[in-house]
């Protein structure tokens, strides 16, 4: 197998479809096709590591690496969608801790002498 066979438009389209199917099966979410340049970078890294592997073995390796790249973004998006409608808890008031115990500062209102 040659580099040109591995990076042919047909094989890239095949990897795109496999990646979309893997994400749908593993995470239950559909994704659009990924950028071809990003996919080619992963393909280049896999090809350089072992150019004597079969096309199917290389495609599987590319698929796994691409899934590991895509997964964090998908998980972050799912987390955002799930929690975007909730209000986060406010921060607690500051406490001044000293060697003589805790002091909660009181802000004077009006004039104080």
pTM: 0.72
| 20-52 core/surface letters (b: 16 or more CB in 10 A; e: else) | bebbeeeeeeebeebeeeebbebbeebbeeeee
| Each residue's pLDDT tens digit, 24-80 | 999 999 999 999 999 999 999 999 998 899 999 999 999 999 999 999 999 999 999
Q: 9: pLDDT confidence band, cut at 50, 70 and 90?
A: very high
Q: Which residues does 46 contact at the CB level (< 8 Å), separation at least 6? A: 58, 61, 62, 65
Beta carbons of 74 and 27 less than 8 angstroms apart: yes
Measured distance CA(10)–CA(106) in Å, rounded = 70
Q: Domain extents for the chain?
A: 3-83
């Amino acid at each position: 197998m040659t580099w040109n066979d591995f990076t042919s438009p047909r094989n890239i389209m095949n990897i795109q479809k496999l990646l979309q199917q893997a994400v749908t099966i593993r995470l239950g979410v559909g994704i659009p096709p990924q950028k071809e340049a990003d996919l080619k970078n992963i393909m280049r890294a896999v090809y350089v590591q072992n150019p004597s592997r079969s096309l199917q073995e290389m495609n599987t390796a590319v698929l796994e690496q691409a899934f590991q790249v895509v997964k964090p973004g998908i998980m972050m998006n799912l987390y955002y969608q799930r929690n975007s409608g909730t209000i986060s808890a406010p921060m607690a008031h500051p406490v001044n801790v000293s060697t003589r115990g805790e002091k909660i500062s009181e802000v004077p209102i009006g004039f104080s002498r």
